[in-house]
Structure 1
Amino acid sequence: MNIIGISAYYHDSAACLVQDGRIVAAAQEERFTRKKHDAGFPLQAIRYCLAEASLGAADIDHVVFYDKPFLKFERLLETYLAFAPRGFQSFATSLPVWIKDKLFQKSVLVRELQEQLDQGVDWSSRLLFSEHHHSHAASAFFPSPFEEAAVLTMDGVGEWTTTSLAIGRGNSLDIHREIHFPHSLGLLYSAFTHYTGFKVNSGEYKVMGLAPYGEPRFADKIKEHLIDLREDGSFRLNMAYFDYCTGLTMTNSRFDELFGGPARKAEAQLTQREMDLAASVQAVTEEVVIQLAKGIRKSTGQRNLCLAGGVALNCVANGKLLRERVFDHIWVQPASGDAGGAIGAALGAHHILLGQPRSVGPGDTMSGSYLGPAFAQDDIEARLRRAGAVFTTLDDDALIDATADALARGCAVGWHQGRMEFGPRALGGRSILADPRSPSVQKQLNLKVKYRESFRPFAPSVLREDVQDWFDIDVDSPYMLMVADVAKERQSPMTAEQQKLFGIDKLNVPRSSIPAITHVDYSARIQTVHADTNPRYHRLISRFKELTGCPVLVNTSFNVRGEPIVCTPEDAFHCLMGTGIEFLAVGNCVMRKEDQDPALLRDYRNAYELD
C-alpha cells in the first residue's frame, strides 16, 4: 500500500510517502524550488518520494491532503458574518482567491496530479482529505514510541481548530477536546511577531531567540487584557485588541495603545521594548503550555504526551514543560509545522481509514528525520565538476580527520552528508558547523556566514553518551526541540559589572566554556547525536572530541538568510562561494575556499540586507 501525503497552498508545502505503514521519504518543496516557504503544489517533493521508492505515479494507492478546504471556507464566511460589516475589505480580498483556487481544491489537486504526474490515473477516486489538526495529531502519535499517549496540537488555525487534545491507542486516534478560532495561542504569538517587526509564519523563532535579552514586564498586561487563561489550560483571547479576524494585519490601534506605540517597522533598530515584548509573550506561552499539559494529565491520566503544530516548535516552552515533569515522557514531531501535516495525513489514512495495525518499537519511526534525498559519490563528483568546484576526494577516515582538524582550527564548515532532514532543523545532514569553544563564533556566523541578526543563538550537537556531562538534561533530544541549561560546572560566572548589562550588550559576555552555543540565559537548544541514526556525524564529533576534549559542535542550518536549507551538492557549493564558510565536505569530497575560482564568488550580503 503506497500512500502520498500532501501539505500545500498555505506555507511550507511538502510531500511524504508511506509504504505499508513505514515512512519511506518526506521533503519540503522549498528545498527543490529554492523558494523559501514555497506554498505551491509539491510536485518535485512528490517526484522525489516516488523516486526514492522506485515507484511510478500509477503505483500510488491514495493521495491524502492535510486539511479540508470547505471547512476553512466555512470559517472565513462565518467569521465575516459574525463581524460584518467590519472586515469587508479582508473578506473581499480573500474571496477571489478562494473562488479561483481554494474552494474547489479537489479539482485543482486532480488537475495538478493529472497534468504533472500521470493523465491516465483516476486521481479523483484516489484523493482523500484529512482535517488539519487530525493530520498534526497523527503526525505526532503514529511515529512516536508510545503504544498509548495524550496528543496535544497547537498552532495558528487549521479549519476551525487552533488547539486540540486527542488520545492515541495503537492504531486509533480520538479527538477529545478542541479550542476554536479566533482563540489561538499560535496567533497570539504571531501577533507579537508582527508587532516586534518580524514576518508572521517565519519570524516566530526570532521572537523566541530575542526573549532572553528582555524582561517579561508586559506579561501581566497580556494576561490581564489579551488572554483569559483557565485552570485547565483552556483560554480565550480578547478580540478587541486583534485585527486578524476582520482586517489585513494582526493587531489594531488598541493593541498599540496598550503597549505604548505602533509596531516596529521591519528592519528598524531593535530596542529594549521589543526585547521585553518578546520575553513577555514567551513567558505567557510557556505558562499556557504548562497549564494545558497539567490539565490534560489530570483529565486523562495519560503518562505520555505527544506534541505537534507550529507552537510545538517552541523548544524553550518544550524544555520548561519537560522540567515540570507533568508527563513521564514527551515526544515532539520534528516537523511539527504544516510540512509535517503531510506525514500525518498519510499515516492517518493508513492506520485509521484503512484500519492497518501499528507496531511500536523502542524508538520512534522517523529515521532520525533523515527522510530527504541523498546523493551517490559519483553523482556528487559530477555535479561539483559541472559547478566549477575544485575538490579532493578522500576516504572515510581522511574525510573525518580533515573536517575535524578544520573545525579545531576555527573554520566555519559546510557539512552535506547523507539524506536531507525533513522539518525546519538541520541535524547533521545539511549543517554549518563550528567550534563551540570560540567566544567570537556566534557573532561571526551570524554576520559573515548566515547574514542575519546578531542576537540569534546557535544550537549544539553533542554526543548522546556525553550529553549529561555538558547540559542539564536527562533525556534524549535528537531533533533539537528541547532547551536546557549548560551544566553548572561548564558555566562562567558573571562579574558584578557584567550583571548590570541589559539588552544586546549581554551578547558580548561569554557564559560558559562553550560560549558559541550558550544563550544569554545560559540555555542551549540541544541535539543529541546517535551512532545508529547518523554514524558519520557521530564519528566527526567523536574525532573533534579526541582533538579538543569537547564532544560538542555548533550546528546551524546550511543556508543563508532568505534561502531554504541546501538540498543538492551544487546548492552547498554555491553557499560556500557566497558566505564566510571556509571548508566544505560533500560526501567524500572536500573543498577549501582559497582553492576555488574567484570568478565563482557570490555576494549574498547584497541580496539579504541585515536587520
Structure 2
Amino acid sequence: MRILGVSAFYHDSAAALIEDGRIVAAAQEERFSRVKHDARFPANAIDYCLAAAGVEAKDIDHVAFYDKPFVKFERLLETYTTFAPRGFQSFATALPVWLRDKLFQKSLLAQKLKHHAPNVDWRVRLLFAEHHLSHAASAFYPSPFDEAVVLTMDGVGEWATTSVAFGEGAKLVMQRELRFPHSLGLLYSAFTYYTGFKVNSGEYKLMGLAPYGEPKYASLILDHIVDLKKDGTFRLDQSYFDYCTGLRMTSEKLHRLFGGPPRAPEEQLTQRHMDIAASIQAVTEEIVLRLTRALAAETGARNLCLAGGVALNCVANGKVLRDKSFERIWIQPAAGDAGGALGAALLAYHDFNGRPRAARGESDAMEGAYLGPSYSQSDIERRLADCGARFTTLSDEETIAATARDLADGRAVGWFQGRMEFGPRALGGRSILADPRSPQMQRTLNLKVKYRESFRPFAPSVLREHVADWFDLDEDSPYMLLVAEVAKRHRLATSAEDEALFGIERLQRPRSVIPAVTHVDGSARVQTVHRETNPRYHALISAFHARTGCPVLVNTSFNVRGEPIVCKPEDAFACFMGTEIETLVIGNCHLRKEDQDQALRKDYKDRFELD
C-alpha cells in the first residue's frame, strides 16, 4: 500500500511517501522552488517522492492531507464573531483568500493532483487528518517506542495549540488539548515579532539571542500576560496581543508594558532585546517542564515524543531530557508543518487502514532524516561541467582525506553528499563544515559565508562514540534537537573581566577549546553522527579526528540567509561561487575556490529575501 502525505497552503509545504508502512521519501517544496518556507502546493516535492519510489501517481492508494480546512475555517469565523467589530480589516483580508484557495481544499487538491495523474478520481482517494493528530503521528509512529506520551506544541492547528496523545503499538489516541487563542507557539512568535524577527522564520534567532541576556522580564510576563498553572496549562491575556483580530502579533498594551514599540527589522540589537529574548525563553522552558512533569506523574509513562514547531526549541528539549521526568524522549526532526505531511500519511496507513506497526528495536524509522534526493557521480560531474565548474574527481578514500585536510587547514567546506535531509536542519548531507577549534570561525561563517547576524551560534557534529567525552550528554542526538553543555574538561577559564561583559561583547571571548560551536553560555546544539545512518560523514569526522585529535566539526546548513538549503549540485555550486566558502565537495568531486573561473563569481549576499 502506497500513501502520499501532503502539507500545504500555510507555510513549509511538503510531501512524503510511505510504502507498506516504510518511509520511502520526504521533502519540502522550498528545496525545489528555491522560495524559503514555500507554502504552495508541493508539486515538485510530490514528483520527487514518486520518482524516489519508482512509481507513478496513479499507483498511489491514498493522499492524506495534514489538516481539516473546514474546521480551521470554523475557528476563523468564530474568532472574528467573538471579537467583532474589532478585526474587520483582518477579516476582510483573510476571507477572500479562504474562499478562493482554502475553504474548498478537497476540490483544489483534486485539481492539483490531476496534473500528476489526469485520469484518476482523486476525490475518492483523499483523506484529511486533524492538524495535531498529524503532528503526533509524525512523532510516535517513526519513534523507537512501543508506547509513549506524545506532546504536540505549536501556534495553532484547527483549534488545538497544545495537545496530548498516547500511542501504543499502532494505536494513537488524542486525549486532550489546549485551544486557540491560548498558544505557547503564538506567545513565542509574538516575542519574535516584538524583537524584530520574522514570524514563522525567526523564532530560532530569538532562541539563539537568549543566552546573551538575563531573564529580567520573566516575572513580568508571568504576572501580566501568562496565567500559568502547576500542571503547565495556561491562559494568555489577549489584551496584550493582536493576532486574533489584527495584522500584527502584539498590541499597544504589550508595547507599553515593555517600554517601547517593536524593534524594526535589522535595527541594532540592544541589551534590552537580549533580556526580553532570555525572558520569553525562560518562560517557555518553565511551561514545557511543567507540562512534561505533570504528564509523567499522571501517566507513569517512561517515553515521551515531541512534535509541533515548539519542539524545535532545542534548549527546552535539552532541559526536558536532563529533568529525567521521562526516561527517554524522541523528537520528530521535521517537527514543524512539513512533518505534518509524513504524519498524515502514517496516520492513514495505521489508523484509517488498520495496518500494524513494525517493531523498531532501538532505532527510529527516519533513516537519519536522509529522505530527499541524491545524485549519482556521473550526474554530478555532468551538472558541474554544465555550470563551468573546475573540479578534480577523487576516489572515496582520497575525497575523505582531502576534505579532512582542508578542514584542518581552516578552510570552510561545502559538503554535498547522499540524500538531502528532511526538516530544517542540515545533518551532514547538505552542510557547510569547518574546524571548531578556530576562535574566528564562528564570526567568519556568519558574516562572510552565511551573511547573517553575528550572534547566531553554530552546531557541533560529533562522533556518537565520543559525545560523552566532549559534552554533558551521553544520548543519541542525531537530529540536532538537544542542547547540552560543553564538558568541563574542554572549557576555558574565564576572567572576572570576561564575566563582566554584556551582550554581543561576550561573543569575542573563547569559552572552550572548540569555540566555534560553544555558545556564550557554554552550551552547544549537539548532533551525534552515527556510522549506521551516515557512514560517509562519520568517516570524514573520523579522519579529521585522526588528524587533529578533535572528533567534532562545525556543521551549519548549506545556504545563505534567506535561501532554502541547497538541493541540486547546481544550487551548491552557485552558493559556493557567491560566498566565501573555500572548498566544495560534491560526491567525489573536489573543487577549490582559487581554481574556479572568477568570472563565475556572483553577488550572492542580496539574492534572497532576508529571513
TM-score by length of 2: 0.99
Letter of the structure 2 residue corresponding to residue 30 of structure 1: E
Match of residue 216 from structure 2: 217
Any runs of at least 4 consecutive aligned residues in structure 1 with deviations exceeding 3 A, and if so which?
A: 606-611
Letter of the structure 2 residue corresponding to residue 393 of structure 1: T
Match of residue 313 from structure 1: 312
Which digits, 9 at most, give the CA deviation of each residue in 1:222-266, with x for residues without a partner?
000111111111111010100000111000100000000000000
Match of residue 544 from structure 1: 544
Can you give the 5+ residue segments of structure 2 that lack an aligned partner in the other structure? Answer: none
Letter of the structure 1 residue corresponding to residue 597 of structure 2: D
Match of residue 44 from structure 2: 44
Match of residue 178 from structure 1: 177
Match of residue 240 from structure 1: 239
Q: Does 1:363 align with 2:363?
A: yes
Residue 604 of structure 1: how far off its partner (Å): 1.6
Q: Does 1:304 align with 2:341?
A: no
Match of residue 511 from structure 1: 511
Match of residue 251 from structure 1: 250
Residue 291 of structure 1: how far off its partner (Å): 0.2
Residue 326 of structure 1: how far off its partner (Å): 0.8
Match of residue 395 from structure 1: 395
Match of residue 501 from structure 1: 501
Q: Does 1:273 align with 2:275?
A: no
Q: How does 1:145-184 map to 2 (within 5 A)?
A: 145-184=144-183
Conserved? CA contact 1:286–1:317, under 8 Å? yes
Match of residue 197 from structure 2: 198
Q: What is the alpha-carbon distance in structure 1 between the residues aligned to residue 578 and residue 218 of structure 2?
A: 41
Q: Kindly tell me: are residues 98 and 327 of structure 1, through their superposed partners in 2, closer, same or farther at Cα, counting changes over 3 Å? A: same
Q: What is the alpha-carbon distance in structure 1 between the residues aligned to residue 374 and residue 354 of structure 2?
A: 32
Give secondary structure in 2 for the equivalent of 1:467: helix
Q: What is the alpha-carbon distance in structure 1 between the residues aligned to residue 176 and residue 605 of structure 2?
A: 48
Q: What is the alpha-carbon distance in structure 1 between the residues aligned to residue 290 and residue 142 of structure 2?
A: 25
Give secondary structure in 1 for the equivalent of 2:264: coil
Which digits, 9 at most, give the CA deviation of each residue in 1:72-128, with x for residues without a partner?
1000000011111111111111000001110001111011111x2011011010011
Q: What is the alpha-carbon distance in structure 2 between the residues aligned to residue 473 and residue 226 of structure 1?
A: 35
Which digits, 9 at most, give the CA deviation of each residue in 1:279-298, with x for residues without a partner?
00000000000000011111
Match of residue 345 from structure 2: 346
Q: Does 1:407 align with 2:407?
A: yes
Q: What is the alpha-carbon distance in structure 2 between the residues aligned to residue 495 and residue 607 of structure 1?
A: 42
Which digits, 9 at most, give the CA deviation of each residue in 1:468-503, with x for residues without a partner?
000001211000000000000100111011111000
Which digits, 9 at most, give the CA deviation of each residue in 1:418-441, with x for residues without a partner?
000000000000000000000000
Q: Kindly tell me: are residues 608 and 100 of structure 1, through their superposed partners in 2, closer, same or farther at Cα, counting changes over 3 Å? A: closer
Residue 610 of structure 1: how far off its partner (Å): 8.1
Taking only the aligned residue pairs, the percentage that are identical comes to: 69
Match of residue 521 from structure 2: 521
Residue 562 of structure 1: how far off its partner (Å): 1.0
Q: What is the alpha-carbon distance in structure 1 between the residues aligned to residue 57 and residue 111 of structure 2?
A: 14
Q: Kindly tell me: are residues 262 and 529 of structure 1, through their superposed partners in 2, closer, same or farther at Cα, counting changes over 3 Å? A: same
Conserved? CA contact 2:227–2:234, under 8 Å? yes
Letter of the structure 2 residue corresponding to residue 338 of structure 1: D
Q: Kindly tell me: are residues 244 and 352 of structure 1, through their superposed partners in 2, closer, same or farther at Cα, counting changes over 3 Å? A: same
Q: What is the alpha-carbon distance in structure 2 between the residues aligned to residue 609 and residue 523 of structure 1?
A: 30
Count of equivalent residues: 610
Q: Does 1:443 align with 2:443?
A: yes
Q: How does 1:540-579 map to 2 (within 5 A)?
A: 540-579=540-579
Letter of the structure 1 residue corresponding to residue 492 of structure 2: S
Match of residue 291 from structure 1: 290
Q: What is the alpha-carbon distance in structure 1 between the residues aligned to residue 470 and residue 609 of structure 2?
A: 36
Which digits, 9 at most, give the CA deviation of each residue in 1:1-44, with x for residues without a partner?
00000000000000000100000000000000101100000001
Conserved? CA contact 2:562–2:609, under 8 Å? no
Match of residue 454 from structure 2: 454
Q: What is the alpha-carbon distance in structure 2 between the residues aligned to residue 65 and residue 225 of structure 1?
A: 38
Conserved? CA contact 1:195–1:251, under 8 Å? yes
Give secondary structure in 1 for the equivalent of 2:605: helix
Conserved? CA contact 1:415–1:586, under 8 Å? yes
Which digits, 9 at most, give the CA deviation of each residue in 1:167-192, with x for residues without a partner?
00000001111000000000000000
Q: What is the alpha-carbon distance in structure 2 between the residues aligned to residue 572 and residue 21 of structure 1?
A: 33
Q: Does 1:260 align with 2:268?
A: no
Match of residue 464 from structure 2: 464
Letter of the structure 1 residue corresponding to residue 122 of structure 2: W
Conserved? CA contact 1:52–1:373, under 8 Å? yes
Q: What is the alpha-carbon distance in structure 2 between the residues aligned to residue 365 and residue 9 of structure 1?
A: 27
Residue 602 of structure 1: how far off its partner (Å): 1.2
Which digits, 9 at most, give the CA deviation of each residue in 1:430-466, with x for residues without a partner?
0000000000000000000000000000000000000
Q: Does 1:375 align with 2:383?
A: no
Q: What is the alpha-carbon distance in structure 1 between the residues aligned to residue 610 and residue 352 of structure 2?
A: 48
Q: What is the alpha-carbon distance in structure 2 between the residues aligned to residue 143 and residue 279 of structure 1?
A: 33
Q: How does 1:63-102 map to 2 (within 5 A)?
A: 63-102=63-102
Give secondary structure in 2 for the equivalent of 1:183: coil
Q: What is the alpha-carbon distance in structure 1 between the residues aligned to residue 131 and residue 605 of structure 2?
A: 38
Conserved? CA contact 1:451–1:608, under 8 Å? no
Q: How does 1:53-64 map to 2 (within 5 A)?
A: 53-64=53-64
Letter of the structure 2 residue corresponding to residue 419 of structure 1: R
Q: What is the alpha-carbon distance in structure 1 between the residues aligned to residue 130 and residue 380 of structure 2?
A: 40
Q: What is the alpha-carbon distance in structure 2 between the residues aligned to residue 580 and residue 58 of structure 1?
A: 46
Residue 606 of structure 1: how far off its partner (Å): 3.5
Q: What is the alpha-carbon distance in structure 2 between the residues aligned to residue 608 and residue 407 of structure 1?
A: 28
Q: What is the alpha-carbon distance in structure 2 between the residues aligned to residue 213 and residue 608 of structure 1?
A: 28
Q: What is the alpha-carbon distance in structure 1 between the residues aligned to residue 453 and residue 607 of structure 2?
A: 15
Q: What is the alpha-carbon distance in structure 1 between the residues aligned to residue 309 and residue 164 of structure 2?
A: 15
Letter of the structure 1 residue corresponding to residue 551 of structure 2: P
Letter of the structure 2 residue corresponding to residue 324 of structure 1: D
Q: What is the alpha-carbon distance in structure 2 between the residues aligned to residue 57 and residue 344 of structure 1?
A: 20
Conserved? CA contact 1:312–1:318, under 8 Å? yes
Q: Does 1:492 align with 2:496?
A: no
Q: What is the alpha-carbon distance in structure 1 between the residues aligned to residue 291 and residue 102 of structure 2?
A: 33
Which digits, 9 at most, give the CA deviation of each residue in 1:179-223, with x for residues without a partner?
000000000000000000000000000000000000000000000
Q: What is the alpha-carbon distance in structure 2 between the residues aligned to residue 10 and residue 404 of structure 1?
A: 41
Residue 608 of structure 1: how far off its partner (Å): 5.5
Q: What is the alpha-carbon distance in structure 2 between the residues aligned to residue 597 and residue 458 of structure 1?
A: 30
Letter of the structure 2 residue corresponding to residue 241 of structure 1: Y
Q: What is the alpha-carbon distance in structure 2 between the residues aligned to residue 233 and residue 252 of structure 1?
A: 25
Letter of the structure 2 residue corresponding to residue 129 of structure 1: F
Which digits, 9 at most, give the CA deviation of each residue in 1:386-424, with x for residues without a partner?
011000000000000000000000000000000000000
Q: Which deviates further from its counterpart, 163-172 or 599-608?
A: 599-608
Q: What is the alpha-carbon distance in structure 1 between the residues aligned to residue 416 and residue 523 of structure 2?
A: 27
Match of residue 325 from structure 1: 324
Match of residue 130 from structure 1: 129
Match of residue 531 from structure 2: 531
Conserved? CA contact 1:147–1:170, under 8 Å? yes
Residue 607 of structure 1: how far off its partner (Å): 3.5
Q: What is the alpha-carbon distance in structure 1 between the residues aligned to residue 332 and residue 276 of structure 2?
A: 28
Residue 605 of structure 1: how far off its partner (Å): 2.2
Q: What is the alpha-carbon distance in structure 2 between the residues aligned to residue 224 and residue 171 of structure 1?
A: 43
Can you give the 5+ residue segments of structure 1 that lack an aligned partner in the other structure? Answer: none
Match of residue 143 from structure 2: 144
Conserved? CA contact 2:563–2:608, under 8 Å? no
Q: What is the alpha-carbon distance in structure 2 between the residues aligned to residue 41 and residue 446 of structure 1?
A: 32
Give secondary structure in 2 for the equivalent of 1:120: coil
Conserved? CA contact 1:139–1:308, under 8 Å? yes
Q: Does 1:189 align with 2:188?
A: yes
Q: What is the alpha-carbon distance in structure 1 between the residues aligned to residue 359 and residue 240 of structure 2?
A: 46
TM-score by length of 1: 0.99
Q: Kindly tell me: are residues 184 and 258 of structure 1, through their superposed partners in 2, closer, same or farther at Cα, counting changes over 3 Å? A: same
Q: What is the alpha-carbon distance in structure 1 between the residues aligned to residue 28 and residue 438 of structure 2?
A: 33
